[in-house]
Amino acid sequence: MNTPRKFAEETVLLHAGRHPEDNYGIVNPPVYHTSTVLFRSVEELLETRVDRASGAFEKFTYGREGTPTTRALEDAVTALEGGYRAVVTSCGLGAIAASLTAFLNAGDHLLIVDSVYGPARHFCEDFLSRFGVEVTFFDPLIGGEIAGLFRGNTKVVYMESPCSLTFEMVDVPAVVAACRPRGIVTIIDNTWASPLCFKPLALGVDVSLHAATKYISGHSDLMLGIAVCREDAFIPVKKTASASGYCGGPDDVYMALRGLRTLALRMKRHQESATRIARWLQQRPEVARVMYPALPDDPGHAIWKRDFKGASGLFGVVLKECSAAQLAAMLDHMDLFKLGYSWGGFESLAVPTYPATLRSASPWTEPGPALRLHAGLEDPEDLIRDLEAGFARLGDAA
Ligand SMILES: *Cc1c(COP(=O)(O)O)cnc(C)c1O
């Protein structure tokens, strides 16, 4: 059961998915380590088969299908995003793969946003195409004109907003309005916003998925994904995740639940620090452009303001042209913005990005190098001083 929605969201965040009264009064849900679930009788075993075949998945039958620990995380995130039920997967890419393969068959056509998360692009190009799915990438700024790309066999439209690396905002309501009358399933990667800052299901999207690896867990210590579904989408996604073996481990699920409880506090701080740092970067002579839709002069700001309730700590920067040695002099010696993939943890991170290598429908023409920065929970003034020292090294290496 989800917590009733009469409470403020920050209150729901703390209570959703917890049932101390069913567990000796213990505040947090127990961690069930299991493969086997024992049945009391053949009759009970057969009931679980009926439950599974009908797509209800209310009963616990086997570790891979989920446990009460998994269910607690699924219920908690569902309470925040709305929707019917959620499916926990082994990682964010598992949630992407399960959601796509739930709806696509050989001969179907998939439309996917051009500046999508790189491994999602590769999954479509390298795997789905091998299984007979036609894949077309679309310009993130396409809006309602996506209808012009529909074919008779278009089955799924896959979005991410803001997009990975380049942070364009997709006009989700316009895309959904084009898809729904034709029965085209819409899926969105909502990892950037976390379940707090954007509610795609309320806008009619069928599946909103997250790399729970990022903000939901928040501590850079686990891999997990979750797909939150409208009612019609739940059975296909659950069946596919379960039939493909995308299950999450019990300790990881428990730690994600623990991380989730502080999400509202963390997201506020990530947004405040990212905004402060992004504004500071805009004034720097080394910077050509900052890509962060929460900034008023960002091209995606109007859509962000209309549809989102907040922003995260992840944004992009395009530097003015400089040499590879200058960029390395900056990034190799940062004290706080360490070089590494992933984001959404408590710590700040930086990576050089190469957007031109990851798009085909909307060319990337910026001449200077691009970076992706994650503003962690450190003191923002310390983070700015770290970048300032980095720019000094970049200048000295000229
Ligand atoms: C990291 C990431 C994923 C994949 O999540 P994993 O847990 O690393 O598999 C998916 N989407 C976005 C936007 C991401 O940044």
> Residues of the chain whose pLDDT is less than 50?
1
Secondary structure class of 112 (helix, strand, coil):
strand
Please tell me the residue having the least CA distance from ligand 1 atom 6.
92
Identify whether the C-beta of residue 345 lies closer than 8 Å to the C-beta of residue 305: no
pLDDT of 55: 87
- pLDDT for position 273: 98
| Distance (Å) from CA 51 to ligand 1 centroid | 31
Q: How far apart are CA 264 and CA 270, in angstroms?
A: 10
Distance 219 CA to ligand 1 centre (A): 15
- Judging by beta carbons within 10 Å of its beta carbon (0-12, 13-18, 19+), is residue 368 exposed, middle or buried? middle
Locate 131 and state its tokens.
Answer: 């299984």
Among residues 326, 324, 374, the alpha carbon closest in space to that of 348 is found at 374
**Across-strand partners of 33?**
none
Measured from CB, residues less than 6 Å from any atom of ligand 1 are: 91-93, 117, 160, 164, 189, 191, 211, 213-214, 223, 225, 342
CA atoms of 184 and 109, how far apart (whole Å): 10
Main-chain phi, psi angles of 395, to 5 degrees: -65, -40
Do 9-32+67-260 and 263-396 fold alike per CATH? Answer: no
pLDDT at position 2, please? 52
How many angstroms does the Cα of residue 163 sit away from the middle of ligand 1?
12
Atom of ligand 1 nearest to the CA of 225: 7
Q: Which atom of ligand 1 is nearest to the CA of 214?
A: 1
Q: Residue of the nearest CA to atom 8 in ligand 1?
A: 92
What is the rounded CA–CA span in Å between residue 318 and residue 288?
A: 5
Helices (H), 208-333: 231-244, 250-260, 263-282, 301-307, 324-331
Are 383 and 337 in contact, with CB atoms under 8 Å apart?
Answer: yes
The pLDDT, as a whole number, for residue 1 is: 46
Mutate to test the pocket of ligand 1, among 100, 117, 255 (most ligand atoms within 8 A of CB): 117
Cβ pair 162, 169 in contact under 8 A: yes
Q: The pTM is what?
A: 0.97
E strand or H helix that includes residue 319? strand 314-319
Catalytic residues: 64, 117, 189, 214
Closest CA to 85 of 95, 77, 97, 96: 77
Best residue among 89, 160, 213 to mutate for probing ligand 1's pocket (most ligand atoms within 8 Å of CB) is: 213
Q: What is 263-396's CATH superfamily?
A: Aspartate Aminotransferase, domain 1 (3.90.1150.10)
Confidence at residue 5, expressed as pLDDT on a 0 to 100 scale? 54
**374 bridge partner residues:** 314, 349
| Strand, coil or helix: 313 | coil
Q: How far apart are CA 350 and CA 22, in angstroms?
A: 44
- Distance from Cα 326 to the centre of ligand 1, integer Å: 29
pLDDT digits (tens, 9 = 90+) for 188-202: 999 999 999 999 999
DSSP string, 122-154: HIIIIIGGGGT-EEEEE-TT-GGGGGGG--TTE
Q: Nearest C-alpha to atom 4 of ligand 1 is from which residue?
A: 92
Q: What type of residue is 254? A: Y
CATH 3.40.640.10 correct for 9-32+67-260: yes
Q: Which atom of ligand 1 is nearest to the CA of 93?
A: 9
Cα of 374 from ligand 1 centre, angstroms: 14
Domain boundaries, the chain: 9-32+67-260, 263-396
Give the per-residue pLDDT at 6.
Answer: 85
